[in-house]
Amino acid sequence: MPDLFHPQMMDYLERLVPKRHEIMLEMEARAREIGFPIIGIAGGQFLYLIARMMKATRIFELGSGYGYSTAWFARAVRENGGGVVHHVVWDENLSSQARDYLGRLGYSDIVQFHVAEAVETLKATTGPFDLIFNDIDKTGYPASIPVIKEKLRPGGVLLLDNMLWHGAIFNPADASEATRAIHETTRLLTQDPQFISSLIPIRDGIMLSYYVP
């Protein structure tokens, strides 16, 4: 991540997160090693906090990678009394790594795996969901919002990662498709009276949007 914050900020926030299960530490080490864009330690703790606070038992993730964010949600769902977390990624290899990690964490009974395009999978899956987390390719964000609104329960929560987009959103000359998609998604969520939204500046920015009942 570039220097969006005080140089000690992310390290400080991460040190406030209690020690994770050794397999989650393994997943964190792997992200560092191969440069894979997981939500990060403070980001994961934030997803977990929201899921616990709202007692979520039905969670749908779009763009799940090898299952790090899924592990935080599965932990919350287990502690909330059980339920389901949908893990969706279009790479077979990442899905199989996720099955391995989440199996070793003891969450096989909670996580449902889909190897497919995430928005199409959400469309085809029976809702409603308490919480939807979106981390797909950023160009896909704007078109995902109407589908998410159909599947989120009133009173539910939408979380989206990368809403600061490495600071690219501060550059008015950046007209790349991904940056325009982040601006458009921000507009869609902050100007929609059906959502109350706040952009949380953890790592690359997590948008928290409450779907008003």
* Positions in the binding site for ligand SAM (CB under 6 A): 37-39, 63-65, 68-69, 88-91, 94, 117-118, 135-137, 140
Q: How far is the CB of 88 from ligand SAM (least distance, A)?
A: 6
Q: How far is the CB of 107 from ligand SAM (least distance, A)?
A: 14
**Residue that has been written with the tokens 């763009």 in this structure:** 63
Joined tokens for residue 83: 């339920």
Q: Please say which residue, 65 or 83, places its beta carbon nearer to ligand SAM.
A: 65
Q: Is there a contact between 208 and 50 (Cβ–Cβ < 8 Å)?
A: yes
Q: Is there a contact between 204 and 1 (Cβ–Cβ < 8 Å)?
A: yes
Tell me the C-alpha distance between 70 and 66, whole Å: 8
Q: Please say which residue, 96 or 212, places its beta carbon nearer to ligand SAM.
A: 96
Q: How far is the CB of 213 from ligand SAM (least distance, A)?
A: 27
Q: How far is the CB of 115 from ligand SAM (least distance, A)?
A: 9
Give which of 58, 111, 100 is closest to 80, Cα–Cα: 58
Residues in the chain: 213
First to last CA, the chain: 36
Q: Please say which residue, 91 or 109, places its beta carbon nearer to ligand SAM.
A: 91
Q: How far is the CB of 79 from ligand SAM (least distance, A)?
A: 19
User: Partners of 84 in the beta sheet?
Assistant: 58
Q: Is there a contact between 55 and 27 (Cβ–Cβ < 8 Å)?
A: no
Q: Please say which residue, 38 or 157, places its beta carbon nearer to ligand SAM.
A: 38
Q: How far is the CB of 94 from ligand SAM (least distance, A)?
A: 5
Joined tokens for residue 119: 């928005």
**Residue 189: φ, ψ to 5°:** -80, -40
Q: Please say which residue, 120 or 155, places its beta carbon nearer to ligand SAM.
A: 120
Q: Please say which residue, 9 or 115, places its beta carbon nearer to ligand SAM.
A: 115
Joined tokens for residue 155: 């009173």
Tell me the C-alpha distance between 122 and 101, whole Å: 23
